[in-house]
Amino acid sequence: MRCASRTALSVVLAAACLAGCRSATPAQSHASPSGTAAGPAGTAAPGGASSIAVGPGPQPAYTVQKQPAPGSCHYRHENGEPLPDPTCTPGATSPAVTQATVKSTICRKSGYTKSIRPPVSITSREKRLNAASYGYNGRLADAEYDHLISLELGGDPNDERNLWVEPADPGHKTGSGINNKKDPVESKLHTAVCDGKVTLAAAQQAIAGDWTTALSKLGLS
């Protein structure tokens, strides 16, 4: 009787172990080899930050990009300043600009952004379409067709996810042309990246999230 009981107990324990081992296998398969949670496209987002899309980069010839449906995008505002709709305009980076290539691209002495900027014949048509996407009814000459992640910060030149019609700042005099407070932020971030004070990725994340707080978030204000 004792031998039979021990045999039966052994069979039960072995079955339980086998079931437990099988049930653990699928859960383990979701972990990346490094033990971190996988981010978009199988890559882990550094520090838990959301991943920014990578666009096609500079092209020998640009084409007019399809824009979001009319009225589907909505401006946000922080301290009275306009921010884009994060669904329509989350930002996109250029594959040509990485931390390893900043010295030969955005941080070189001059000429990089001019060499990759789409022509007005393309952007003027996109601007009109994007104005309809955002329901912008103001004077187009006073609004900037803006790269959310600027070209000097490695933003993609013509990815529709990185471009939006940016309204003029509050108090802007109608007919006085384009002049907004985002431009100085872009310049300061560019200088900080090229001086090695912040990483390219940190600057891109900060300006894509909220350009009005980008400098303070990085300790540059």
Q: Are strands 76-78 and 53-54 parallel, antiparallel or unpaired?
A: unpaired
Measured from the Cβ of residue 74, the count of other Cβ atoms closer than 10 Å reads 13
CA atoms of 132 and 130, how far apart (whole Å): 5
Q: What is the pLDDT of residues 41-89, one digit of tens each?
A: 323 333 335 699 999 999 999 999 999 999 999 999 998 899 999 999 9
The pLDDT score that the predictor gives to residue 180 is: 82
Angle between helices 200-209 and 182-194 (to 10 degrees): 160
CA atoms of 7 and 189, how far apart (whole Å): 72
CB 106 within 8 A of CB 99: no
pLDDT at 123 over 60: yes
pLDDT at 133 over 70: yes
Average model confidence (pLDDT) for the chain? 81
The pLDDT score that the predictor gives to residue 79 is: 83
CB 159 within 8 A of CB 92: yes
